[in-house]
Amino acid sequence: MHIQPVKQLKGTLKVPGDKSISHRSIMFGALAKGTTTVEGFLTGEDCLSTIACFRQMGIHIEQVQDKVTIQGKGLYGLTKPNSILDVGNSGTTMRLMSGILSGQSFEVNITGDASIRKRPMDRIIRPLTSMNANISSLSGNGLAPLSIKPSLLKPIDYISPVASAQVKSSILLANLYTGSTSTVKEPTLSRNHSEIMLNHFGAHVEINGSLVTSHPIKELFANHVVVPSDISSAAFFMVAGLICPNSDLILKDVGINPTRDGIIHVLKEMNGSIEVIDKRVVNGEPIADLHIKSSKLKGTIVEGDIIPTLIDEIPVIAVAAAYAEGTTIIKDAGELKVKETNRIDTMVSELKKMNIHIEATADGMIIVGGNRIQGAHVQSYDDHRVAMSLAIAALGANGHTRIENSGCIAISYPTFESDLSSLIHI
């Protein structure tokens, strides 16, 4: 991808559907009785991997652009796939599906791409094993490929060492097969889309702060799902609108679930002009339009309980920090090291190439803003959010930027480049 600096960004944009919610709509639709319909589905490669896996397990799924119809067969309707399930680059597919597969009466193996095969799976293997699941890492090192064999699951009261919606959801899904009550306590609350959507499908999941309780149910029931626009994709345009001069953007129908909206708080704290307009609730998920205007940003400290609510947005927050006056410190974000890439290392190495003052710390990064940012030849390391963050950094740089391996953007935002072009006024 080649990016030239721009003079201003103007217009209205509806970014594609939320990735986390799109995955869940397929999984829960497959496990529900009856026909589930989805609108606003994200057609990114990760969510298409989820569709492919459930098709392999005998679920009829029709997908035409962002509209999906799933013929759910109930909790016990999946059938043994003919070959290994491949989640591609998608951690959500691997970890949530492992919870579901632990409760099936057939044996299955799951794998994914080179990045997924380096990401920790012991964080789900451990609690699922405590639930009596027969799940193991095929090479015995806590990494995928995983093998899951049939077993009789039992409930768990799990105190999670990490605020991870993928871990929490994996346990909630496995609990559907225990006929009993399980609880998950997190150090701080992670995104709660599973809890909200499971209840929308007739489950009984209670949320008390960072404690979630899953009560026994007999069936899930098909429903209609409207997927909000993904705040993690909107984040790129929030930062772009703030750092490019004379900009004025409206981002439509963005999911602003409080477990996901940390970036709005941080950018406002940095003096960003972001107005949240017309708040409403769809399928239990809060959404709003966001009005973004160019702003003179200042540095800030991002730490503590807010981190899980903006974990995927930290790469682009680092870009905002580079365009801000003063120093920004990001702490308590060690989880960044186990994302699609080690996002502390990849962002620090590539932003440095753009003449940005940025240093890695043990659990985050320190960015000193205000330097003249230089266009450069940079690398995505096949990490979609790194690629898009670098594209945003390039918009206000001096000179041209070339981003290698930008094809990975299709994992979460296939229309990123054309959406960006539609707002550019050179």
**Residues carrying an active site annotation:** 312
Residue 391, C-beta contacts closer than 8 angstroms, at least 6 positions apart? 1, 3, 236, 401, 403, 406, 416, 420
Do the Cβ atoms of 293 and 343 come closer than 8 Å?
no
- Find the shortest distance in angstroms from Cβ 394 to ligand S3P: 23
Per-residue x/- marks for ligand S3P, 245-284, CB under 6 A? ----------------------------------------
- Find the shortest distance in angstroms from Cβ 166 to ligand S3P: 3
Q: Characterize the bridge pairing of strands 157-159 and 67-73.
A: unpaired
Q: Characterize the bridge pairing of strands 134-137 and 108-111.
A: unpaired
For residue 243, give both structure tokens. 């750092």
Q: Characterize the bridge pairing of strands 364-368 and 377-379.
A: unpaired
Q: Is 260 part of any known ligand binding site?
A: no
d(CA 69, CA 44): 17
SS3 413: coil
Size of site (CB under 6 A) for ligand S3P = 11
By the rule CB under 6 A, 166 interacts with ligand S3P:
yes
Do the Cβ atoms of 268 and 300 come closer than 8 Å?
no
Per-residue x/- marks for ligand S3P, 188-207, CB under 6 A? --xx----------------
By the rule CB under 6 A, 78 interacts with ligand S3P:
no
Name the CA radius of gyration of the chain, rounded.
21
d(CA 289, CA 255): 9
- Which residue among 311, 320, 333, 394 contacts ligand S3P (CB under 6 A)? 311
**Span interacting with ligand S3P, options 9-17, 164-172, 278-286, 297-305, rule CB under 6 A:** 164-172
Q: Is 343 part of any known ligand binding site?
A: yes
Do the Cβ atoms of 158 and 182 come closer than 8 Å?
yes
Do the Cβ atoms of 408 and 382 come closer than 8 Å?
yes
By the rule CB under 6 A, 312 interacts with ligand S3P:
yes
Of the pair 20, 56, the CB lying nearest ligand S3P is at 20
- Find the shortest distance in angstroms from Cβ 80 to ligand S3P: 26
Of the pair 253, 383, the CB lying nearest ligand S3P is at 383
**Span interacting with ligand S3P, options 102-110, 162-170, 358-366, 401-409, rule CB under 6 A:** 162-170
By the rule CB under 6 A, 170 interacts with ligand S3P:
no
Q: Is 402 part of any known ligand binding site?
A: no
**Span interacting with ligand S3P, options 163-171, 179-187, 200-208, 292-300, rule CB under 6 A:** 163-171
Do the Cβ atoms of 46 and 383 come closer than 8 Å?
no
Interface with ligand S3P (CB under 6 A): 20, 92, 164-166, 169, 190-191, 311-312, 335
Q: Which residues are annotated as a binding site for phosphoenolpyruvate?
A: 19, 91, 119, 166, 343, 385
